[in-house]
Amino acid sequence: MSDTSDVTGLSRTEAEHELKRLADTLNAANVQYHGEDAPTLTDGEYDRLKRRNLEIEALFPDLKRADSPSDVVGAAPSDGFGKITHTVRMLSLGNAFDDEDVHEFDRSIHKFLGLSPGSVQYTAEPKIDGLSLSLRYENGTLQYAATRGDGATGENVTENARTIADIPQTLPDAPDVIEVRGEVYMSHDDFDALNAAQDSAGAKPFANPRNAAAGSLRQLDPSVTKSRPLRFFAYAWGDLSAALSTTQSGAIARLAELGFQTNPLTRVCADPEDMIDHYRHIEARRATLGYDIDGVVYKVDDLNLQARLGFRSTTPRWAIAHKFPAELAWTRLEEIDIQVGRTGALSPVARLQPVTVGGVVVSNATLHNEDYIAGRGSDGADIRDGKDIRVGDWVQVYRAGDVIPKVADVDLSKRPHTSAPFEMPATCPRCGSPAVREEGDAVRRCTGGLICPAQAVEKLKHFVSRAAFDIEGLGAKQVEAFYDDSQLPVKEPADIFTLRARDDAALAKLANRDGWGATSVNNLWQAIDEKREIGLGRLIFALGIRHVGEVTAQDLARHFGSWNDLAGTVSEARAAALAYRAADEAEERERAAAVSEGRRARVGEARKAALLAAAVPAQAARAWQHLIDADGIGATVALSLSDALSNPDESGAINRLIDQLARIVPPEARDTSSPVAGKTVVFSGTLEKMTRAEAKARAEALGAKVSGSVSSKTDLLVAGPGAGSKATKAADLGIETLDEDGWLSLIGDA
């Protein structure tokens, strides 16, 4: 019987059979959807079958099965795997795109460490295009294998990892605790064979070896993983109970002795020239390696220096990935669409005739902003030799790794005669509000704020994103649907937290809708309730305030420790923020006037006059100072916060959200075991054993705040020779002062 026939014609027996068939198909599709990278049913087909299942159940309610798909839809993607919190975070790498970037990497390392040029050696090895995996061994046996996930928490794929021949189950001569990290990948031959098998089984082929490897490792059934030939290269480590070596190259050799595959193209290089030589060597062999690589990774060889260099927020200072040049293809630009972002930025997007670039079909490319389209870079200089981009043009697009494709070049000889230069709209295409481009800003922005549906939806998507509230089962797609939902609308973050109560009161209950069932709805309520307790940094980031990214949000959280303190300070500082902006504008006006009058600009005087005229109350000035005293917070962020919190629509939405939360968790000091954790430290004068940058990074890694000026909030001054006025001020204020050796012995580095 066809599954498109009218359900009202079904006999009882036919209905029973069909309900079983639908349960099997839909439940299998669920598993595949969540466990594999290639779903077996299209969304449309899935919805159609689910609707049919509901219709039959409505006709024969007593035939509803215990495993009815109506009840099990929409389980969160990660439901299949347990979560594992990494003992040592799994980081990503910064990128170098050309030889100059490699030289700059080397210079910055020498500068940070205060070493003379040529003192640091590096390893160079292929960057494998797979997915990273962390393997924890205790007392010689594999305890678990975890994917990278968001770097802090990954998925437990232990049973699947055990099926990979390159991964030893036991390590006889290893330290008691050792976490080995590396890349899971699939060879070209194995990839081709797998796709041939997929093809003859009528299954969708994988787009590339990396997707095939990811799809194979994330199988809920380990026997499927076992049937897929995965491999593993070890190149790093996490937690260790005993050091492997004193060098990166020595540690890699030790991993090889322990039984891991390590990459045979790993070399030790004396300087950037050597590194670039080895890069060219690897690049020349790229096509014959038999597996995908997308660049070369350089790492400082001396592990002691690696430790001194430490980390930025998500990448180590001691390593960088030198990427291979992007792949290119020519195609036609069919349309330029305007997208409206969370902060109102209008972003032009190129709609392309689909073209394959490096194995991936590309049909969109970013066009950044109007200057970029006109052929001008952010510094005003020509890009693409000044060629503009027009609808109808023949354009060259490129893809580098996972980044959004970009337009590299335009073929003017193929430009249609009827084409016209592109013009950015002067009004928002979504809400019709004026779209303005402010002095010094490359982008045009919709001025509609929260009345603009595009901005509101983008803000909501940001709010639920992984680094923000990260509500399981409520992603971008669901948020978009709820925004337009007439019965259960979600127009602002607070509405997410009132959904359940509104659903309880509503007639059209969520559980009766397509794509939802009793189980998935209950899971959603639970996931939402779990987030009523949220970290302060996440909360600040989730608000989507311009210039306040993840790192800045954490900095603010650490500096203020509570939402009320932050909001109170920002509001007290409002008069100072306005004066600051007025001073900026006066400065700008003075500059322009000086240019047109052909005289020297008196910028300082213009600023001073504007600040004086504003007569900022002392309390506001103090609050402003407290705000910009926070690590990493400058006037731009402070002004943006001030604008957001003084806007009645925005602050209203924030307050309604906070009313829905049960607890805002203050951030933990980074390392509370250190005597300087939570202390505010000022460095002054010359340091002899390390550079200022290293001292600051080290202090911050121990949980201290580093400030540039001495105030009553300072806990400790580290004064080297020539500390001058800061030392005097610290003495006046009775602040503890140490010399460099005293500091080193305090933090245990002496």
- The answer to the question of residue 316 lying near ligand IVH (CB under 6 A) is yes
Pairing state between β 293-300 and 319-323: antiparallel
Q: Phi/psi of residue 626, each to 5°? A: -60, -40
With a CB cutoff of 8 Å and minimum separation 6, the contacts of 165 are 231
Q: Point out which span in 96-104, 127-135, 201-209, 737-745 binds ligand IVH (CB under 6 A).
A: 127-135
Work out how close the CB of 236 gets to ligand IVH at its nearest, in angstroms, rounded to a whole number. 5
Q: Could you say whether residue 127 binds ligand IVH (CB under 6 A)?
A: yes
Residue 93: name the closest of 183, 214, 217 by CA. Answer: 183
Q: Does 319 bind ligand IVH (CB under 6 A)?
A: yes
Catalytic residue among 50, 127, 459, 531: 127
Task: Determine if 282 is a binding residue for ligand IVH (CB under 6 A).
Answer: no
Q: What is the DSSP letter of 4?
A: T
Dihedral (CA of 537, 539, 545, 550) sign: positive
Among 453, 102, 479, which Cα is nearest to 278's? Answer: 102
Amino acid identity of residue 429, one-letter, is P
Taking the complex as a whole, how short is the minimal distance between the CB of residue 92 and ligand IVH, in angstroms?
A: 4
- Residue closer to ligand IVH, measured from CB, 68 or 123: 123
Helix, strand, coil shares of the chain as percentages rounded to 5?
45, 20, 35
Interacting stretch for ligand IVH, rule CB under 6 A, among 60-68, 77-85, 122-130, 615-623? 122-130
Determine phi and psi for 235, rounding to 5 degrees.
-145, 0
- With respect to ligand IVH, which residue has the nearer C-beta, 235 or 560? 235
Q: Which is nearer to ligand IVH, 212 or 719 (CB)?
A: 212
**What are the residues whose beta carbons fall under 8 Å from the beta carbon of 426, sequence distance 6 or more?**
434, 435
Contact 738, 717 (CB under 8 A): yes
Cα–Cα distance between 262 and 627 in angstroms, integer? 49
Cα separations in angstroms, 519 against 38, 401, 515, 523, 705:
24, 38, 11, 6, 46
Interacting span for ligand IVH (CB under 6 A) from 90-98, 375-383, 504-512, 571-579: 90-98
Q: Using CB under 6 A, pick the residue from 29, 49, 93, 616 that binds ligand IVH.
A: 93
Task: Tell the smallest beta-carbon distance from residue 294 to ligand IVH (Å).
Answer: 8
For residues 470 and 474, what is the distance between their CA atoms, to the nearest angstrom? 8
Binding of residue 69 to ligand IVH (CB under 6 A): no
Say whether residue 96 binds ligand IVH (CB under 6 A). no
Q: Which is nearer to ligand IVH, 296 or 579 (CB)?
A: 296
CB of 166 to ligand IVH, least distance (A): 14
Using rule CB under 6 A, residue 125 touches ligand IVH: yes
Residues in 133-152 at the binding interface with ligand IVH, rule: CB under 6 A: 148
- Which lies closer to ligand IVH via its Cβ, residue 316 or residue 348? 316
For the chain, give the number of residues: 750
| Residue, CB closest to ligand IVH | 132
For 143, list phi and psi in degrees, rounded to 5.
Answer: -90, -50
DSSP 381: -
92 binds ligand IVH (CB under 6 A): yes
Name which of 108 and 396 has its Cβ closer to ligand IVH: 108
Residues 296-315, one symbol each (x = binds ligand IVH by CB under 6 A, - = not), give -x------------------
The alpha-helical segments, DSSP class H, found in 228-333 are 248-257, 272-285, 303-309
Establish if 658 lies at the interface with ligand IVH (CB under 6 A): no
C-alpha 260/C-alpha 268 separation (Å) is 19
Binding mask 337-366 for ligand IVH (x = CB under 6 A): ------------------------------
Q: Which is nearer to ligand IVH, 46 or 235 (CB)?
A: 235
Using the minimum distance from each CB to ligand IVH, give the nearer residue, 92 or 353: 92
Instruction: Report how far Cα 468 is from the mean position of its chain's Cα atoms.
Output: 11
How many residues touch ligand IVH under the rule CB under 6 A: the total is 15
The minimum distance between CB 300 and ligand IVH, in angstroms, equals 11
The answer to whether 478 and 520 are in contact (CB under 8 A) is no
Quote the crossing angle between the two packed helices 574-597 and 603-614, to the nearest 10°.
Answer: 150
**127 catalytic residue (yes or no):** yes
Distances (CA, A) of 482 to 359, 432, 512, 653, 663: 35, 23, 15, 17, 25
Min dist CB 212 to ligand IVH, Å, is: 16
Which residue number, 109 or 524, has a Cβ lying nearer to ligand IVH?
A: 109
Of 125-133, 377-385, 625-633, 723-731, the segment contacting ligand IVH by CB under 6 A is: 125-133
Other beta carbons less than 10 A from residue 90's beta carbon: 22
The answer to whether the beta carbons of residues 357 and 405 sit under 8 Å apart is yes
> x/- binding map, residues 232-251, to ligand IVH, per CB under 6 A?
---xx---------------
Residues with catalytic function: 127
Contacts with ligand IVH by CB under 6 A lie at: 91-93, 125, 127-128, 132, 148, 183, 235-236, 297, 316, 319, 321
